[in-house]
Structure 1
Amino acid sequence: MKQNKILFPIFLMVVIPTVITAFISFFRFSTTLDRKLSDALFHLLPSHHLFSKDIVIIDIDELSIAKYADHPELGLWPWKRHIYPTLIGYTKLLTPPKITIIDIMFTERSDYDDALVTANLSLGEISHAANFRDGGIVIPRKGIESISEKFNVKLNTNLPFPKYENASFPIGQIGETAPMIHVVNVIADSDGILRRFSPFVKWNGLYFPTLALQAFSLGEPYTTKTMDSKFYLEKKDKTRMIPIGKDGLVRAYFYTEEELRSIPRYSAAGIIESLEKLNSGEIEDPNSLLVPPNLFKDKIVLIGTSAASTHDDVVTPHGLFPGVIAQAVFASNLTEGHLLQELPELYGILFTSVVLFFGVLVLFINQWHLLKNLYPIFAISLFVGVFYFLYRMDFVLSTYSFVLGFPISYLIGFAYLTYTEGKEKRKFNHILRNLVDPEVVSVALENMESLKQGGEWEITAFFSDVAGFSSISEELSATNLAKLLNEYLSVMTNVLKANEGTLDKYIGDAIVGIFGAPIQNKNHPKLACKTALEMVKELEILRAEWNKRGDYTPLARAMVFRIGLNCGLAKVGFMGTDSLASYTMMGDTVNLAARLEAAAKDYGVSVLVSESIESSCKDEFHFRFLDWIRVKGKEAPVKIYSLESFQNEVSPKMILAEKEYEDGFSEYSKRNWEKAIEHFKNVSKILEKDDTSSHLLIKRCQTLFQNPPPVDWDGVYTRTSK
């Protein structure tokens, strides 16, 4: 394709969709769509990370609240605070956990704060929850400055971690004695779905760790550094690179819904019941308790709630879950390094542009029609494959540009291709339909490649030729000769096309046609016979008009033609070059039809057919047996017939003459030359006109009488000319 013909498709299929997706990205309309699409792909693609085995949850669930609703020391939610030291202490009965992280706020005073203060001082690795918020009135609290100074983290970074106006730390002595503090704030995306978290949040110019970071550090010292726009956490046994986004958040790997529902969660009611049985001496072996203490050995223990009355639910990519489950996911992400990095949207746009460019080549350069239909499948598979490959490496490729851009591009491309091909088809259709059969044109324009490949099936080959045309052409001027041929060929070609025949070619005055291809039709022999008889009638009409008008010469006005028909297997298809191809036929079936057309002259008939035609069409058409011949280039003998008429047009005279001819041929085959001659002479008498076929056989009998054939003579006449 010329350069100017490919530039416009590139503009349509690459530039326009790329500009649209870039426009959407520039105005930030794409972010939520991108994340929704990636969520859908995460659900479809296999998971490649498992939830951390080090994290367990003590869950104040529906059962716990319902069971102890009337308990004098617990009561309705919120529970009295002295229960939390009980839960924490139970986890430390044997080998203690690595850290206990509380996902419940203690920002208001109660009568049981001393129990938590004592737990802070005696039970060790406990981290309490703080909550930050925007808006409202800033109320100074006693001791808040000392708490914030005690627990803030010294960061030397310009990363835009989430920033808040107000802070709520654990109240009074709970906060002052707390071994550790963590922030439990979560930030949902604009569609309300929680997908991301931050290791730090900022308040009053100070940085504070979130629950996930506390799970990573386990209360141990750690350092941070920012290098090449990447944020690193380092402690004595591990280093973690955190791919912080532009808004200070990192995309979480949310595992599978089945894994989230399988996170080890131990009901607070079960722990209380186990402790009561242990204290009462009812069960001496801790391992046989409902919740054995060794389940918390070397674990990161989160204490949270899942009961509906606690109103601590969040929307995740897997639907509604308790907030403590989301915190556990973030903690697992940071401790195990399961963090996703959202690649810049430009990467997705560039990938899409490359795919779209190859789409242009497939639609407008490629000549393999099947590839045009397969390319969308390939492109989608490539996109999913690249997305999954990057996902396995914890990168998230921007998806919206492909999901929007590729359909837009391919629809525009197909629309333009349909328009341009339709324009070309209409142009060539107008030209070709004047030359060849309209059905061939239609099929060729739909699938030229398939027709070029061709095929082999049963057809009827048609050959016709004007008798003595050389003599006619010598008598006519060039103008009159062209006029005569145009009239004759136009009428005969119309008859051919009207009977579903395909025009193969003109060879001077000769017409070569095909029945049964390219559109296969089991009635092709009958259609060919019908065509031949109608052409005979049309030629009679033409001769009458020429005589009436006095056109041309007497020899031209007396024009006759010969037709040869044969059916059988043949190779058919478009043959030639890309720029010049003709739908044609080849094979023995075709050669025999051509030989029959030439032999028709010897027998003085208009239409000479093979036995295969006669056997296929004798129910509708009347045939006259003529001879057994052996044509040039073929050893096998051929039984030949003259196509006389439709069956309903047969006269008794024709039947009687043909019976006499067949009797004569029988005597001829038995070498009874004299008897054969008598029968052949009777044929002309019955028909009341000279019968060329009978005269031919009479001469042959006379010759054989004078020069008897060899002993092995089979009665078959061998033609030495084509």
Structure 2
Amino acid sequence: MKQTKYLFPFFLMVIVPGAILAMISLFGFSNTLNRKLSDSLFHILPTHHRFSKDIVIIDIDEQSIAKYADHPELGQWPWKRNIYPTLIGYTKLLTPPKITIIDIMFTERSDYDEALVAGNINLGEISHAANFRNGGFVFTRKDEENIAEKFNVALPSDTPFPRYENASFPIGEVGETAPMIHVVNVISDTDGILRRFTPFIRWKNKHYPTLALQAFVSGKSYETDWKEGRFRIRREDGVTREVPLGKDGLVRAYFYTEEELRNIPRYSAAGIIESLNQLNANEVEDPEKLLVPPTFFDNKIVLIGTSAAATHDDVVTPHGLFPGVIAQAVFASNLVEGHLLTELPEIWGIGSTLFILMIGVIILFVNQWHFLRNVYPVLAIGIFVGSFYFLYRLDLVLPSSSFVIGFPLAYLIGFAYLTYTEGKEKRKFNNILRNLVDPGVVSEALENMDSLKKGGEWEITAFFSDVAGFSSISEELSASDLARLLNEYLSAMTKILKANSGTLDKYIGDAIVGIFGAPIQNNEHPKLACTAALAMVTELEVLRSVWNEKQDYTETARGMKFRIGLNCGPAKVGFMGTDSLASYTMMGDTVNLAARLEAAAKDYGTSILVSESIESVCKDEFHFRFLDWIRVKGKEAPVKIYSLVSYVSDLTPQIIEAEEIYKQGFQFYLNREWEKAIGRFEKVSSVFGYKDVPSQLLIKRCQALFKNPPAEGWDGVFTRTSK
């Protein structure tokens, strides 16, 4: 009976997900997802390969194009072709490079082709670029037939390498005299990301080496061997690479880290030209003191490419957008160093997932240790990631989509059953607690109370409000009237807080502390906080109107004002306290800054003071007025502060004009032009028709700085000495 008891859970958690995964794999839907997931894991896991030290790039970058845009010998892009032999010749001044590979097409005639031809003849190990394509009118130049025959590599006709209909070889004598040739085509996956490359590309049943292969052989002769789906390349010096090709003739590249890609040795063409000019003018005797010493290219594989935006040679890599020459350098490094990844068949991913799911059945339905049930998802993810990393270190890529789809599906089905059968007691307490505590907090607490007590950290918006001059109000009122006033005020404000998905942290006398974005995470928390703050300003006006109509409380109380401070960022949130008495609260720099902003609002005469982090994400919907740069107590970094004025839809021309004048005045203030700044700030009050508190504050500050000028290095940031 006990054995049959577990058959249905086994069917739900193993058989059903297994069948779904098999169907997904059968229709080929998992390939792109596998590669996307492996990209993410590669970003997280430690790298185990380094970019080849043998490869450097001569980069025609933005600086190069801008610097020589008006140069008579170069001109605007594309440059005149006589510059390329000059660049190549510079690399050969001392020990020549192994090979120079040009990642720039010369498929159309120009007036400077003779320079390239002479470079081909005199400078030796140079490889020129060819480009293949599909579609369009098929036309082959006479010289292309000769070039195509000259550089064709004899390979079997059944190779899986990508095939193209049309070819563009270097033009005329440039191609005919080229010592070597390579194809620069790159082939992105269906999601547009470039992850794979091929050593050869086919045209008219002929095979041509790609840039990566040309870098590997570096002008040396080589042999190829195609057998049982494995492709081997053997150089004359005995170095062999086995390339794990896929069915489409592509191999998965190891893309190193983003930091390494950005730090690939790239020497600006402008720097080389400048160095050559220094040599020709005898300005530098020691070549090592040149801007780009020629020793940088000694015995290297040199790629000549472009990164300037005007050249339109960008590709999307797993690390984002990069110049095409960077991707080519990665592929070249892969072959040179043997950093080639083998994508394992989908059955490996399905098999490992089903094994983990079978363990899950035992833990959920046989094991009675509740802690293990809760921690098993983490352990399962750890097992899978550990297996992935172990294989990754062997340059094997384990398909991940099976686990990402199958494990959550199976485990949720199993856990749903347990939740239904074991959750009666929890539902009873749920009904009781919801009458006592905020429902959002109750839901989280019942799901994982231990986790909330330990706390978590994520993005929230911290809310602080305080009644201005409350001490004076409390002295004028009796105890009963004070309690009644506070109850009216706090009830109205708390209702608005909760209506906008805010969580009440605590009351501190007349102060309200709230959290937006926790315990239920919500990406809109900054906007919800701004909405609540503006609604509170409106609600306080309603309360004051009612109090004045009834002549309730004292005149000071009826004129009550408050200040609000808002800041968003990472904070620790959770239940803090003891097992018997705990409250849901927040801690961290984000929270402290919100409290400091609430206090600083008094100086600027504003009801709602916010940080730049709030303004930057809410400015499309709400209008903020820039006020100042300040340094709050306990925090060294300066903070840009704003007043939340209104919704964007409620803006008036008067507000826009006044704020523009204020910004002009603040710029004069930063430039130490005190009199001009004061004039602008006085103009702000004139436009508003009343004394503008921030402008008056800045006027006094300018007057003080005029009498006692700040020291050198003054950054215009005002340091608050009080909380």
Q: 2:533 corresponds to which residue?
A: none
Q: How far does residue 19 in structure 1 lie from its aligned partner after superposition?
A: 1.4
SS at match of 1:8: helix
Deviations 1:608-628 (A, max 9, x none): xxxxxxxxxxxxxxxxxxxxx
What is the alpha-carbon distance in structure 2 between the residues aligned to residue 416 and residue 157 of structure 1? 57
Q: How far does residue 424 in structure 1 lie from its aligned partner after superposition?
A: 13
Q: 2:40 corresponds to which residue?
A: 40
Q: 2:193 corresponds to which residue?
A: 193
Q: 2:106 corresponds to which residue?
A: 106
Contact 1:243 1:341 in 2 (8 A): yes
Q: 1:616 corresponds to which residue?
A: none
2:189 maps to 1:182:
no
Q: 2:388 corresponds to which residue?
A: 387
Contact 2:157 2:205 in 1 (8 A): no
What is the alpha-carbon distance in structure 2 between the residues aligned to residue 377 and residue 211 of structure 1? 43
| TM-score computed with the length of structure 2 as normaliser | 0.58
What is the alpha-carbon distance in structure 2 between the residues aligned to residue 65 and residue 125 of structure 1? 26
What is the alpha-carbon distance in structure 2 between the residues aligned to residue 419 and residue 15 of structure 1? 22
What is the alpha-carbon distance in structure 1 between the residues aligned to residue 369 and residue 247 of structure 2? 46
Equivalences, count: 427
Q: How far does residue 425 in structure 1 lie from its aligned partner after superposition?
A: 13
The letter of the residue matching 1:75 is G
Q: How far does residue 182 in structure 1 lie from its aligned partner after superposition?
A: 0.1
What is the alpha-carbon distance in structure 2 between the residues aligned to residue 133 and residue 140 of structure 1? 13
The letter of the residue matching 1:29 is F
What is the alpha-carbon distance in structure 1 between the residues aligned to residue 35 and residue 298 of structure 2? 38
What is the alpha-carbon distance in structure 2 between the residues aligned to residue 140 and residue 245 of structure 1? 31
Give the structure with higher Rg (CA). Answer: 1
2:323 maps to 1:322:
yes
2:252 maps to 1:255:
no
Q: 1:365 corresponds to which residue?
A: 366
Contact 1:187 1:196 in 2 (8 A): yes
What is the alpha-carbon distance in structure 2 between the residues aligned to residue 260 and residue 359 of structure 1? 41
Q: How far does residue 206 in structure 1 lie from its aligned partner after superposition?
A: 0.5
Q: 2:240 corresponds to which residue?
A: 239
The letter of the residue matching 2:45 is L
Q: 1:295 corresponds to which residue?
A: 296
Contact 1:157 1:226 in 2 (8 A): no
The letter of the residue matching 1:389 is F
Q: 1:307 corresponds to which residue?
A: 308
What is the alpha-carbon distance in structure 2 between the residues aligned to residue 169 and residue 312 of structure 1? 18
What is the alpha-carbon distance in structure 1 between the residues aligned to residue 424 and residue 348 of structure 2? 38
Q: How far does residue 365 in structure 1 lie from its aligned partner after superposition?
A: 1.3
What is the alpha-carbon distance in structure 1 between the residues aligned to residue 365 and residue 351 of structure 2? 21
SS at match of 1:202: strand
Deviations 1:7-50 (A, max 9, x none): 11111001111111221111111111111111111101101100
Q: How far does residue 219 in structure 1 lie from its aligned partner after superposition?
A: 1.1
CA root-mean-square deviation: 1.7
Question: Superposed, which structure 2 residues align to 1:604-615 within 5 Å?
Answer: none
Contact 1:161 1:202 in 2 (8 A): yes
What is the alpha-carbon distance in structure 2 between the residues aligned to residue 369 and residue 169 of structure 1? 68
The letter of the residue matching 1:183 is V
Contact 1:156 1:225 in 2 (8 A): no
Q: 2:675 corresponds to which residue?
A: none
What is the alpha-carbon distance in structure 2 between the residues aligned to residue 281 and residue 418 of structure 1? 83
Q: How far does residue 65 in structure 1 lie from its aligned partner after superposition?
A: 0.4
What is the alpha-carbon distance in structure 1 between the residues aligned to residue 43 and residue 423 of structure 2? 43
What is the alpha-carbon distance in structure 2 between the residues aligned to residue 422 and residue 104 of structure 1? 67
Contact 1:124 1:179 in 2 (8 A): yes
Q: How far does residue 246 in structure 1 lie from its aligned partner after superposition?
A: 1.4
2:407 maps to 1:406:
yes
SS at match of 1:143: helix
Deviations 1:570-621 (A, max 9, x none): xxxxxxxxxxxxxxxxxxxxxxxxxxxxxxxxxxxxxxxxxxxxxxxxxxxx
Q: Which sections of structure 1, spanning at least 5 residues, go unmatched?
A: 427-445, 447-722
What is the alpha-carbon distance in structure 1 between the residues aligned to residue 296 and residue 371 of structure 2? 61
CA 1:158–1:2 in 2, change beyond 3 Å: closer, same or farther?
farther
What is the alpha-carbon distance in structure 2 between the residues aligned to residue 356 and residue 241 of structure 1? 35
Q: 1:129 corresponds to which residue?
A: 129
Q: 2:272 corresponds to which residue?
A: 271
Q: How far does residue 185 in structure 1 lie from its aligned partner after superposition?
A: 0.2
Q: How far does residue 293 in structure 1 lie from its aligned partner after superposition?
A: 0.6
Deviations 1:673-703 (A, max 9, x none): xxxxxxxxxxxxxxxxxxxxxxxxxxxxxxx
What is the alpha-carbon distance in structure 1 between the residues aligned to residue 392 and residue 16 of structure 2? 28
What is the alpha-carbon distance in structure 2 between the residues aligned to residue 227 and residue 161 of structure 1? 14
Q: 1:532 corresponds to which residue?
A: none
Q: Which sections of structure 2, spanning at least 5 residues, go unmatched?
A: 428-446, 448-723
What is the alpha-carbon distance in structure 2 between the residues aligned to residue 227 and residue 14 of structure 1? 38
Contact 1:147 1:176 in 2 (8 A): yes
What is the alpha-carbon distance in structure 1 between the residues aligned to residue 27 and residue 243 of structure 2? 27
What is the alpha-carbon distance in structure 2 between the residues aligned to residue 21 and residue 76 of structure 1? 55
What is the alpha-carbon distance in structure 1 between the residues aligned to residue 281 and residue 423 of structure 2? 91
2:82 maps to 1:74:
no
Q: How far does residue 422 in structure 1 lie from its aligned partner after superposition?
A: 6.7
Deviations 1:308-358 (A, max 9, x none): 000000011111100000000000000000011110111000000000011
What is the alpha-carbon distance in structure 2 between the residues aligned to residue 157 and residue 384 of structure 1? 40
What is the alpha-carbon distance in structure 1 between the residues aligned to residue 325 and residue 229 of structure 2? 31
| TM-score computed with the length of structure 1 as normaliser | 0.58
The letter of the residue matching 1:414 is F
Deviations 1:492-549 (A, max 9, x none): xxxxxxxxxxxxxxxxxxxxxxxxxxxxxxxxxxxxxxxxxxxxxxxxxxxxxxxxxx
CA 1:37–1:376 in 2, change beyond 3 Å: closer, same or farther?
same
CA 1:86–1:16 in 2, change beyond 3 Å: closer, same or farther?
same
The letter of the residue matching 2:27 is F
Q: How far does residue 421 in structure 1 lie from its aligned partner after superposition?
A: 5.2
What is the alpha-carbon distance in structure 1 between the residues aligned to residue 307 and residue 144 of structure 2? 30
Question: Superposed, which structure 2 residues align to 1:129-528 within 5 Å?
Answer: 129-156=129-156, 158-235=158-235, 236-420=237-421
The letter of the residue matching 2:272 is I
SS at match of 1:76: coil
What is the alpha-carbon distance in structure 2 between the residues aligned to residue 16 and residue 268 of structure 1? 60
The letter of the residue matching 2:24 is I
What is the alpha-carbon distance in structure 2 between the residues aligned to residue 323 and residue 177 of structure 1? 26
Q: 1:92 corresponds to which residue?
A: 92
2:21 maps to 1:27:
no
What is the alpha-carbon distance in structure 1 between the residues aligned to residue 379 and residue 244 of structure 2? 32
SS at match of 2:6: helix
What is the alpha-carbon distance in structure 1 between the residues aligned to residue 261 and residue 425 of structure 2? 60
CA 1:425–1:86 in 2, change beyond 3 Å: closer, same or farther?
closer
The letter of the residue matching 1:277 is Q
The letter of the residue matching 2:122 is S
Q: 1:610 corresponds to which residue?
A: none
The letter of the residue matching 2:369 is W
The letter of the residue matching 1:35 is R
Question: Superposed, which structure 2 residues align to 1:494-643 within 5 Å?
Answer: none
What is the alpha-carbon distance in structure 1 between the residues aligned to residue 157 and residue 394 of structure 2? 26
What is the alpha-carbon distance in structure 2 between the residues aligned to residue 217 and residue 269 of structure 1? 29
Q: How far does residue 416 in structure 1 lie from its aligned partner after superposition?
A: 2.3
Contact 1:157 1:225 in 2 (8 A): no
CA 1:62–1:423 in 2, change beyond 3 Å: closer, same or farther?
closer
What is the alpha-carbon distance in structure 2 between the residues aligned to residue 51 and residue 372 of structure 1? 43
What is the alpha-carbon distance in structure 1 between the residues aligned to residue 2 and residue 81 of structure 2? 81
The letter of the residue matching 2:42 is F
What is the alpha-carbon distance in structure 1 between the residues aligned to residue 284 and residue 72 of structure 2? 24
What is the alpha-carbon distance in structure 2 between the residues aligned to residue 422 and residue 5 of structure 1? 20
What is the alpha-carbon distance in structure 1 between the residues aligned to residue 33 and residue 196 of structure 2? 15
Q: How far does residue 83 in structure 1 lie from its aligned partner after superposition?
A: 0.2
2:21 maps to 1:4:
no
Q: How far does residue 227 in structure 1 lie from its aligned partner after superposition?
A: 2.9
